[in-house]
Structure 1
């Protein structure tokens, strides 16, 4: 182990000791301990106007909103889904919840009512925070109180500052983020406060976000990579983060980079592919460029070198772990890129290959914070070896003699589309309610345009009395788009006589992927 790596491991343990303490407070670690005049976020609107948002402003506004939330019945330990875009009030609402000791449940703004309902029910939530642009998706959900964040902000003006900040300790739950697999409803991943040590390690050693960087992680905070590393990582590490309150387009991304002089950028491979496909990159020069969400192809590395001024470095992780393997940027741990590899294990972790899967050595990984899914012991057991010595990623891979890991395939059937992980069950459960559907199975296949990584394809068996047609296929696509999520609707619907199954009745999605390739 090099001297730099040893120093990194020592730093990791210092962070972990601090954030695991029994008296640890989220509000203190993420906000109150910092210079009030230091800028926490640069808030950028679609027209590229911007506002600096300081730690002091965040502290004051979140204390006032916490008082209002408590008056409306929000209590310590409550799971509170938040459906907001990347705006100032999102950060204020999250910090207010953490002051109370409530648990943030992230919701992606592209979700339709069906996807929101699954997470609201899974979290047993009694309150949802949203705004006017998203409210129509939440109002149909019974037995939940909808709070408009703009009303909360208005009521916060002049409110008595909340002064009883919750001390939840390192094992207290900060976030409950939902992920999807191949069967069953989305699984809740409780994220403890001590996970901040892992997020700061990734920000410092893998992303190498320096104090003078203009840092922009363009991922959406409704998902793990955006929440962990565009909000939580920058807050705990006292690094200014740029938040752009708009969806991704190549032109707007380039405009933000140029207008604000972005030097350190992180995003999904689909973003880089879209930029490469035709955006004018002249005038963009990055010090660091990082990618996560799906395997990075060599052409994107070359694009970075020729168009961005730096290579694009691939990183690997999961909702359950955060990032754990990568082509790290920081000089203490940086190593040369190896084509096709996602890099080496991050400080604070030990990894290997177990039963063909990328796996983390539990005892050798002090930063590993995942202990199980919420109220799902059987699903949790699938993530560990029987002796719980190894965390199993369900992603197959390999590692060479120099410690470079490579991803080979997913051992489950999660679809990676445009950097998002889509569970087939979620899409299938929406399509199955249509009266024409007898059975349906959903798979991911390589995007023929090479932009999104994978696209969703559905294979449907029709009930008697229904006839396959282009109109019916369009109707089913719209059903998923409108009732579940815009990012998850099937781009193609194949009508088939039957679905391939094992003797026990389990759908063989690998057969559908193979058969679909020949259609």
Structure 2
């Protein structure tokens, strides 16, 4: 459905496409070098003995450090098209690493710090990566991966910057050149690689403008982890492209710290998963916020948060929808001229630059009338790519089912591919099942998401044991630990159900909907 938009909004779409889609587009120039060197790019906040310690880094500092790191990486053979993993938390060195790779025309592979070694190794191997930049707390996960060179932040990383001169090399990969290779989980096979071209940044900055209404005077905080799409696209890439500032909280999630940071740094524009808002809502002692805008993504926003937010935060929380493959493209937009009254249960309307509809009950994007669409296919997975399109190739199918009213408002109904949405993270059942089935006592397994008041959904596993093994609490704990060490700490099943058999179709497909019913 085409939504009527103001002329200045259409002009922004055209302008950004001409900048980031140009054949000679230079990522380093567009993301850092063209901006005011004295402007703050990131405020990294460390928490020491319950004290918040913010440190600002400017665009000039990012430019200098990334040039020096690029010199060091080039000396190690990193060049145009090479793929390099970055395994770090929310810290300035992650942005420096990203920009150094952009200067060399290399490809950035984001790696989530909660992943265990097998999940990291799979992504690096699939991407044919040759080097990883990481931090000391994560170094052990990559130390044993064959063929991967490792650079650790607290060790040689700092020396590589201080001991090298700034590079004068600038590689312009152009709008179609790949700058990021990010992996998304599925249900029937290993995670799929999504190549992100430079021209995708046009869509990313349009979401900052239209969906979030981030402005130059805002104190902006995207609280999502940059190991995933929302945190990377809109907390790192988008703010750099616009020359804005973002806050990087260099610690694990904590509701009290989040509340204090919102108040102490006078955040005016905040984006986070519904779980963050539910955590803030759970303690009425939090307050002192100065929010102008608040937005939510990663899973459907629940009505209780929508009702609680205006008096508690000083702002509505507006729900937005997107995917790793496309970024955000259906939103309850904040921008003047696009902002509409929130309808209960609606995730909004199509973002300018996208034309959408419901095809085969799924949210679909019209490839012929969506200039901001950038996904062209998964890495080395032609069959998976083909399954995402209608037979004539016109419509991209998201896999998420919804309905749309006559005014173009979308209402999420279900996930078509069984992805579990937990606290803003997308967890593929296949990833968890492939670890659990390695236990010698497990003969069959299925993983589903179950509704959870705080996290949205949590992982639950249904396990069939061999005849020689009896169910026990100890075995449940053992299986949970297996997932934590074999896949990811956040993705372990909160409950393991030991069953005699799994419900399956005559063709052998697991009927997950029956398991979700309880």
TM-score, structure 2 length as denominator?
0.97
- The whole-number CA distance in structure 1 between the counterparts of 2:46 and 2:94 is 14
Given that residues 3 and 352 in structure 2 are in contact (C-alpha distance below 8 angstroms), is that contact kept between their aligned partners in structure 1?
no
Q: Determine the structure 2 residue equivalent to 1:203.
A: 208
Q: Is 1:272 equivalent to 2:277 in the alignment?
A: yes
Given that residues 484 and 491 in structure 2 are in contact (C-alpha distance below 8 angstroms), is that contact kept between their aligned partners in structure 1?
yes
CA 99–436 in structure 1, closer or farther in 2 if over 3 Å, else same: same
Task: State how 1:300-379 maps to structure 2 within 5 Å.
Answer: 300-379=305-384
Shift of 1:160: 2.0
SS in 2 for 1:160: coil
Given that residues 420 and 426 in structure 2 are in contact (C-alpha distance below 8 angstroms), is that contact kept between their aligned partners in structure 1?
yes
Q: Determine the structure 1 residue equivalent to 2:35.
A: 34
Task: State how 1:247-262 maps to structure 2 within 5 Å.
Answer: 247-262=252-267
Shift of 1:6: 2.8
Shift of 1:41: 1.1
Q: Determine the structure 2 residue equivalent to 1:115.
A: 119
CA 404–3 in structure 1, closer or farther in 2 if over 3 Å, else same: closer
> Which of 68, 77, 94 lines up with 1:73 in the alignment?
77
Q: Determine the structure 2 residue equivalent to 1:64.
A: 68
Q: Determine the structure 2 residue equivalent to 1:8.
A: 9
Q: Determine the structure 2 residue equivalent to 1:173.
A: 178
SS in 2 for 1:471: helix
Task: State how 1:429-444 maps to structure 2 within 5 Å.
Answer: 429-444=434-449
Q: Determine the structure 2 residue equivalent to 1:402.
A: 407
> Which of 97, 101, 117 lines up with 1:97 in the alignment?
101
Shift of 1:75: 2.1
Q: Determine the structure 2 residue equivalent to 1:52.
A: 56
Given that residues 414 and 421 in structure 1 are in contact (C-alpha distance below 8 angstroms), is that contact kept between their aligned partners in structure 2?
yes
Q: Deviations over 1:26-46 (max 9, x none)?
A: 101100011111111112112
Q: Determine the structure 2 residue equivalent to 1:244.
A: 249
- The whole-number CA distance in structure 2 between the counterparts of 1:67 and 1:503 is 59
Shift of 1:167: 0.8
- The whole-number CA distance in structure 2 between the counterparts of 1:285 and 1:164 is 43
SS in 2 for 1:440: strand
Q: Is 1:298 equivalent to 2:303 in the alignment?
A: yes
Gaps spanning 5+ residues in structure 2: where? Answer: none
Q: Deviations over 1:59-113 (max 9, x none)?
A: 1100000010111222211111110111121111111011111111101111111
SS in 2 for 1:233: helix
Given that residues 31 and 241 in structure 2 are in contact (C-alpha distance below 8 angstroms), is that contact kept between their aligned partners in structure 1?
yes
- The whole-number CA distance in structure 1 between the counterparts of 2:408 and 2:136 is 50
> Which of 459, 469, 474 lines up with 1:471 in the alignment?
474
Shift of 1:281: 2.5
SS in 2 for 1:177: strand
Q: Is 1:391 equivalent to 2:413 in the alignment?
A: no
CA RMSD of aligned residues (A): 1.3
SS in 1 for 2:62: helix
Q: Deviations over 1:298-340 (max 9, x none)?
A: 1111111120011100000000000001010010211111111
Shift of 1:279: 5.2
- The whole-number CA distance in structure 2 between the counterparts of 1:97 and 1:279 is 44
Given that residues 71 and 167 in structure 2 are in contact (C-alpha distance below 8 angstroms), is that contact kept between their aligned partners in structure 1?
yes
> Which of 502, 508, 511 lines up with 1:508 in the alignment?
511
Shift of 1:511: 1.8
- The whole-number CA distance in structure 2 between the counterparts of 1:43 and 1:468 is 47
- The whole-number CA distance in structure 1 between the counterparts of 2:53 and 2:210 is 31
Given that residues 259 and 287 in structure 2 are in contact (C-alpha distance below 8 angstroms), is that contact kept between their aligned partners in structure 1?
no
CA 4–354 in structure 1, closer or farther in 2 if over 3 Å, else same: closer
- The whole-number CA distance in structure 2 between the counterparts of 1:3 and 1:435 is 58
> Which of 130, 151, 156 lines up with 2:161 in the alignment?
156
SS in 2 for 1:342: strand
SS in 1 for 2:52: coil
**How many pairs align?**
513
- The whole-number CA distance in structure 1 between the counterparts of 2:36 and 2:310 is 37
CA 399–4 in structure 1, closer or farther in 2 if over 3 Å, else same: closer
TM-score, structure 1 length as denominator?
0.97
- The whole-number CA distance in structure 2 between the counterparts of 1:4 and 1:349 is 11
Given that residues 5 and 352 in structure 2 are in contact (C-alpha distance below 8 angstroms), is that contact kept between their aligned partners in structure 1?
no
Q: Deviations over 1:114-172 (max 9, x none)?
A: 21112111111121111211111111322211111331221221412111111100010
Q: Determine the structure 2 residue equivalent to 1:144.
A: 148
- The whole-number CA distance in structure 2 between the counterparts of 1:511 and 1:134 is 39
Which 4+ residue blocks in structure 1 deviate beyond 6 angstroms? none
